[in-house]
Amino acid sequence: MTKKNLNIIDGVKIIKKNVITDDRGKILHMLKSNDEEFLKFGEIYFSYVFPKKIKAWHIHKKMTLNYVAAYGKIKLVLYDDRAKSPTLGKVQEIFLSNDSHSLVVIPPLIWNGFTSADDNLAILANCSDIPHDKLEISRLSYDDPKFPYDWNIIK
């Protein structure tokens, strides 16, 4: 995992996770019930993103997101527009992959989106603290002028 933009959004955690490798393959840890950052189990889902496609922007009112790259390379972008946040107006870019395996914990009310960081399919896993509820999520287009971010992708 590398960070192009060193602005860390208040409340976001990036945690290096264990990787166990042998001649048969790898085990990539994500989240255990006794991890400090574990709140409770809501659901696990996998979000596929095709090359040169963008899944942005969305914000959860109640859900805490726990993201890892399940496959491929992912560019995850966060934007903080919380009125009383010390990082109001900040953008954070985080690159996730199996080569540098990390968990990103995103609290509620942080806008986020992601794309494949190369020309291949990527899969983002989320182990959220509540089940998906379409009433607690809001979405805006990746190119909405609200966000001071250019995805730099040929659409």
Assess whether the previous peptide bond of 111 is cis (omega < 30° from 0). no
pLDDT in tens, 63-97: 999 999 999 999 999 999 999 999 999 999 999 99
Q: Give me the phi and psi of 51, to 5 degrees please.
A: -55, 140
pTM of the model: 0.91
